[in-house]
Structure 1
Amino acid sequence: MTVWTWQYEGYNPLDERVRESLCVLGNGYLATRGALPECTADDVHHPGTYVAGCYNRLTSRVAGRQVENEDMVNLPNWLPLRFRLAGQEWLTPDTQAVLDHRQVLHLSSGMLERRTRYGLGGGRALSVRQLRIAHMADPHLAALRTELTAEGFDGVLEVEAALDGGVANTGVARYRDLAGRHLVHVHSGTTAPDTVWLRCRTRTSDIRIGLASRLTADAPVTSEHPHPRAVQRVSLDLAAGRTATVDKVVALHTSRDPAISDPLCAAIARVAEAPGFDALLVPHRTAWDQLWRRTGLDVSGEAGRILRLHLFHVLQTLSPHTADLDVGVPARGLHGEAYRGHVFWDELFVLPYLNLHFPEVSRALLHYRHRRLERARAAARAIGRRGALYPWQSGSDGREETQELHLNPRSGRWLPDNSRLQRHVGSAVAYNVWQYSEASGDAEFLHTKGAEMLLQIARFWADSATWDENLSRHRIRGVVGPDEYHDAYPDAREPGLDDNTYTNVTAAWVLTRTLDVLRTLPEPRRRELVERTELDEGELERWEEVSRTLHVPFHDGVISQFDGYGDLAELDWDGYRERYGDIRRLDRILEAEGDTVNRYQASKQADVLMLGYLFPPDELRFLFGRLGHSLDDDTWRRTVDYYLSRTSHGSTLSGLVHSWVLARARRTGAWEFFQEALRGDIADLQGGTTGEGIHLGAMAGTLDLVQRGLTGLETRDGTLRLDPAPLPELSSYGFAIRYQGHWGVRLTLEHGSLQIAVPSSDRSPIDIRMADRAVPLEPGETCLLLLRD
Structure 2
Amino acid sequence: MTDQVWRYEGYEPARERLRESLCTLGNGYFATRGAAPECAADALHYPGTYVAGCYNRLTSTVAGRDVENEDLVNLPNWLPLRFRTDGGTWCTPDGTSLLSHRQSLDLRAGILERESRYLDAEGRTLHVRQLRLVHMADPHLAALRTEFTAEGWSGELEVESALDAAVSNSGVERYRELNGSHLTHVETGTADPHTVWMRCSTRTSGTRIGMAARLAAPETAIEARNEEHRAVQRFRLRLASGHAVTVDKTVALHTSRDPAIAEPLGAAVDRVSRAEGFAALVESHRTAWQHLWQKAELEVPGEAGEILRLHLFHVLQTLSPHTAELDVGVPARGLHGEAYRGHVFWDELFVLPYLNLHFPEVSRALLTYRHRRLGAARDAARAVGRAGAMYPWQSGSDGREETQEMHLNPRSGRWLPDHSRLQHHVGSAVAYNVWRYWEASGDSEFLHTKGAEMLLEIARFWADAATYDESLGRYRIRGVVGPDEYHDAYPDTKEPGLDDNAYTNVTAAWVLARALELLGSLPEPCRQELTEHTGIGRDDLSRWEDISRKLYVPFHSGVISQFKGYEELAALDWEHYRARYGDIRRLDRILEAEGDTVNRYQASKQADVLMLGYLFSPGELRALFARLGHRLDDETWSRTVDYYLHRTSHGSTLSGLVHGWVLARAKRADAWEYVQEALKGDVADLQGGTTGEGIHLGAMAGTLDLVQRGLTGLETRGGALWLDPVPLPELSEYGFTIRYRGHWGVRLHMRPGRLNVRVPDSDRAPIDIELPGRTVSVAPGESCELALPHHWQPRSA
- The verdict on a shared fold, with TM-score over 0.5 as the criterion, is yes
Greater alpha carbon shift after TM alignment, 473-482 vs 95-104: 95-104
**1:66 aligns to 2:66 (yes or no):** yes
- Residue 767 of structure 1: CA displacement? 1.1
Deviation per residue, 1:756-787 (Å, 9 max, x gap): 00000111111110111101111101001111
- Aligned equivalent of 1:3: 3
2:431 pairs with 1:430: yes
Quote how far apart the aligned CAs of 1:94 are: 1.4
Structure 2 CA distance for aligned equivalents of residues 213 and 121 of structure 1? 31
Q: Cα distance, 1:121 vs. partner?
A: 4.4
Which residue is equivalent to 2:85?
A: 85
Correspondences of 1:26-425 after superposition (within 5 Å): 26-218=26-218, 219-425=220-426
Q: Contact between 2:7 and 2:105, CA under 8 Å: does it hold in 1?
A: yes
The answer to whether the 8 Å contact 2:88/2:120 transfers is no
AA at the equivalent of 1:52: A
User: What is the identity, as a one-letter code, of the residue corresponding to 1:223?
Assistant: A
In structure 2, the residue corresponding to 1:682 is in which secondary structure? coil
Give 1:611 deviation, angstroms. Answer: 0.1
Partner residue, 2:610? 609
Range with greater deviation from structure 2 (461-470 or 86-95): 86-95
**Following the alignment from structure 1 to structure 2, what is the Cα–Cα distance between the partners of residues 47 and 696?**
19
* Distance of 1:538 and 1:145 partners within structure 2: 67
Return the letter of the residue paired with 1:713.
Answer: L
What are the within-5 Å matches in structure 2 for residues 368-517 of structure 1? 368-517=369-518
- Residue pair 1:153, 1:240 contacting (<8 A) in 2 also: yes
Looking at structure 2, the residues matched to 193 and 226 of structure 1 have their Cα atoms a distance apart, in angstroms, of 15
Residue 66 of structure 2 aligns to a residue whose secondary structure is: strand
The amino acid across from 1:117 in the alignment is R
Secondary structure of the corresponding residue to residue 745 of structure 2: strand
Q: Does 1:548 align with 2:563?
A: no
Equivalent residue letter for 2:204: T
> Partner letter of residue 208 of structure 1?
R
What does residue 570 of structure 2 align with?
569
1:681 match: secondary structure? coil
SS of the equivalent of 2:160 reads strand
CA distance in 1, matches of 2:735, 2:523: 39
The match for 1:675 is 676
Where do 5+ consecutive residues of structure 2 fail to align? 792-797
CA contact (8 A) 1:123 1:152 kept: no
Return the alpha-carbon distance in structure 1 between the equivalents of residues 553 and 355 of structure 2: 32
1:520-531 superposed matches below 5 A: 520-531=521-532
CA contact (8 A) 1:437 1:446 kept: yes
Query: What's the counterpart of residue 778 of structure 1?
Result: 779
What's the CA shift string for 1:174-225, capped at 9, x where partnerless? 0001000100000011112210100000000000000010001002222000
Instruction: Deviation per CA, 1:541-569: give whole Å up to 9, x if none.
Output: 00000101100000111000000000001
2:294 aligned counterpart, secondary structure: helix
AA matched with 1:506: T
2:227 counterpart SS class: coil
2:742 aligns to what?
Answer: 741
1:14 alignment counterpart: 14
- C-alpha distance in 2, partners of 1:198/1:549? 61
RMSD of Structure 2 on Structure 1 (CA)? 0.7
Number of residue equivalences: 789
State the AA in 1 paired with 2:779: E
Deviations 1:297-327 (A, max 9, x none): 0000000000000000000000000000000
CA distance in 2, matches of 1:271, 1:496: 53
Contact in 1 for aligned 2:57/2:70 (Cα 8 Å): yes
| Higher alpha-carbon deviation: 740-749 or 764-773 | 764-773
Q: Does the alignment pair 1:690 with 2:691? A: yes
State the distance in 2 between where 1:720 and 1:244 align.
56
State the Cα deviation string for residues 348-392 of structure 1 (Å, max 9, x = none).
Answer: 000000000000000000000000000000000000000000000
Instruction: Tell me which amino acid in the other structure corresponds to 1:197.
Output: W
Partner SS, residue 754 of structure 1: strand
Matching residue's letter, 1:646:
R
For 1:727 and 1:682, the matched residues in 2 are separated by: 22
In the aligned structure 2, how far is the partner of 1:194 from the partner of 1:522? 63
Contact 1:604–1:648 (8 Å) recurs in 2: yes
2:795 corresponds in structure 1 to: none
**1:506–1:780 distance in 2 versus 1, CA, 3 Å:** same
Q: Deviations over 1:251-292 (max 9, x none)?
A: 000000111110111101100100110010111000101111
Residue 626 of structure 2 is matched in structure 1 by: 625
User: Which stretch of structure 1 is more off in the superposition, 562-571 or 79-88?
Assistant: 79-88
CA distance in 1, matches of 2:437, 2:625: 24
TM-score (norm 1): 1.00
TM-score, length of structure 2 as denominator length: 0.99
Determine if contact 1:477/1:496 at 8 Å carries over to the other structure: yes
For the Cα contact (< 8 Å) 2:5–2:107, is it kept in 1?
yes
Per the TM alignment, residue 122 of structure 1 is displaced from its structure 2 partner at its CA by 4.7
How big is each residue's C-alpha offset from its partner over 1:550-593, in whole Å with a ceiling of 9 and x where there is no partner?
00000111000000000001000011100000000000000000
Residue type of the partner of 1:445? Answer: F
Q: Distance in 1 between matches of 2:372 and 2:667?
A: 42
CA distance in 2, matches of 1:560, 1:74: 43
Amino acid at match of 1:99: L
TM superposition shift of 1:665: 1.2
Please tell me the residue identity of whatever aligns with 1:132. Answer: R
- 1:12 is displaced (CA, Å) by 1.5
Aligned-pair CA distance for 1:152: 2.4
Structure 1 residue runs of 4+, over 3 Å off? none
Residues of 2 paired with 1:121 and 1:253: CA distance? 41
What letter corresponds to residue 431 of structure 1 in structure 2? Y
Distance apart, 1:86 and its partner CA: 2.3
Task: Tell me the secondary structure at the aligned position of residue 271 of structure 1.
Answer: helix
Contact 1:667 1:727 in 2 (8 A): no
Which is further off, 147-156 or 104-113? 147-156
Provide the rounded CA distance (Å) in 1 between the counterparts of 2:286 and 2:69. Answer: 38
Distance 2:103 2:55 in 1: 31
Secondary structure at the aligned position of 1:45 is classed as: coil
What displacement does 1:87 show? 2.7
| Contact residue 766 and residue 780 of structure 2 kept, 8 A | yes
Contact 1:372–1:397 at 8 Å: present in 2 too?
Answer: yes
Structure 2 CA distance for aligned equivalents of residues 651 and 230 of structure 1: 41
CA contact (8 A) 1:603 1:647 kept: yes
Q: Could you tell me whether the CA contact under 8 Å between 2:91 and 2:97 is conserved in 1?
A: no
Q: 1:239: Cα distance to partner?
A: 1.3
Partner of 2:708: 707
Q: What is the CA–CA distance in structure 1 between the aligned matches of 2:85 and 2:730, rounded to whole Å?
A: 54
Q: Distance in 2 between the 1:679 and 1:187 partners?
A: 43
Indicate the percent of aligned positions where both proteins have the same amino acid: 74
Question: Partners in 2 of 1:291 and 1:740 — Cα distance?
Answer: 18
Contact 1:168/1:181 (8 A) holds in 2: yes
